[in-house]
Structure 1
């Protein structure tokens, strides 16, 4: 068998040799493989770690707990006054507050369950707003805007116009405090769902405050 004496064409491998590999192409493939491996490792570690949820001391958790308690009392007062007056305007407003805040309370309860946190905490009441000047002493004084047990008992004993006036005058500071709490959470919470609900609370309760004040003035103002 003779030796192939044909000259080699530039850029082509000799007959019988493997396909030509450009050094830059080989390096590029190696780099892509390495990058894919790194991305895979990062994604795998994130999946293994699971989603990141708010901590027990976070604004999100504090808002969910304390606003849940706040809402629960609003629901209680609304149910009380609906059983003690026939006034359609007061009854309708009370029903709106009761249904809206009951639903929102359920949302906040579900968040804490999803985050793996208890519904109650060793954190002081309103500790998540400790740097807020209006609530600097709230952890000692209690939750802002809440009716006292004596005031709730008085509402439970009232009837007709007296029940309406007492409900309205108790709900006004209750809503004012709720708006303040929700504004704080809207600006500082980590979770989008928390911020969105907080904005909803601000808008709804700000609008309801106008109605509460008008209804109270129409009925003779606060009950002495």
Structure 2
């Protein structure tokens, strides 16, 4: 399953069609977390020759930890939309995001286990985005942080998440699109930074794939918001 929106087929969720309900799809997609973890392990095993594989550095570890947490909220939002929304375009997008990002969480958590690293950094987020000279390592420029922060950019507040879960109809669809668009845009600096500064090929490739997919989804969400007479949320 790619991160791009999918054409309807026999597995695409559709309200009232006799196909699996949103709740069933969410429960089924949770299994992808385990599959992703296994994939993260299996994809790494053939490359465990110390002479050919770079040792993961702070960027690889920090990215895997923080992007797992960032993705987890996106999966939460997508699950809420998939269960409640009756708009098939919104449901398709939510299904893509939920399944794709759940699988990516599994891969990143699998890597962390192999590296002997914790699932999260207790000191905060994005501290790994510092300490590189502009253009060093893999070239280009990326936004740097001055140290760990308490909240990653683009994350929805608890109040926003509560409102999303309690909303219905078009109001819910619009809020989901607004929150997810802001969430995608908030994570982009982390993706770009990992592409440029990660030591392992696996992390650089995955971050690049995420950036491409989420850029496409962001453009789609802007179009969907405009079609519903709504605008993106201001970015703090």
TM-score (norm 2): 0.68
2:177 to 168, 175, 184: 168
Q: Residue 188 of structure 2: SS of its match in structure 1? A: helix
Determine if the alignment matches structure 1 residue 220 to structure 2 residue 229.
yes
Whole-Å Cα distance in 2 between the matches of residues 126 and 140 of structure 1?
Answer: 6
Larger Rg: 1
Equivalent residues of 2:194, 2:204 under 8 A apart? yes
Whole-Å Cα distance in 2 between the matches of residues 219 and 145 of structure 1?
Answer: 22
Whole-Å Cα distance in 2 between the matches of residues 97 and 222 of structure 1?
Answer: 21
Which structure shows the higher helix fraction?
1
Q: CA RMSD in A?
A: 2.5
Q: Deviations over 1:144-190 (max 9, x none)?
A: 11101110000000001001000011011111122221111011000
Whole-Å Cα distance in 1 between the matches of residues 193 and 182 of structure 2?
Answer: 17
Equivalent residues of 1:162, 1:223 under 8 A apart? no
For residues 23-172 of structure 1, the aligned pairs below 5 Å read 53-55=55-57, 58-130=58-130, 134=143, 136=145, 139-172=148-181
Whole-Å Cα distance in 2 between the matches of residues 198 and 133 of structure 1?
Answer: 13
The higher-RCO structure (CA 8 Å, 6+ apart) is 2
Report the CA distance shift for 1:208/1:48 in structure 2 as closer, same or farther (over 3 A): closer
- 1:222 shift after superposition: 4.2
- 1:122 shift after superposition: 3.6
- 1:96 shift after superposition: 0.3
Aligned to 2:191: 182
Q: Deviations over 1:96-127 (max 9, x none)?
A: 00000000000000000010111122443110
Determine if the alignment matches structure 1 residue 196 to structure 2 residue 198.
no
- 1:52 shift after superposition: 6.3
Equivalent residues of 1:66, 1:126 under 8 A apart? yes
Whole-Å Cα distance in 2 between the matches of residues 218 and 138 of structure 1?
Answer: 40
TM-score (norm 1): 0.72
- 1:137 shift after superposition: 5.7
Whole-Å Cα distance in 2 between the matches of residues 187 and 72 of structure 1?
Answer: 24
Question: Which stretches in structure 1 are left out of the alignment for 5+ residues?
Answer: 1-46
Question: Which stretches in structure 2 are left out of the alignment for 5+ residues?
Answer: 1-48, 132-140
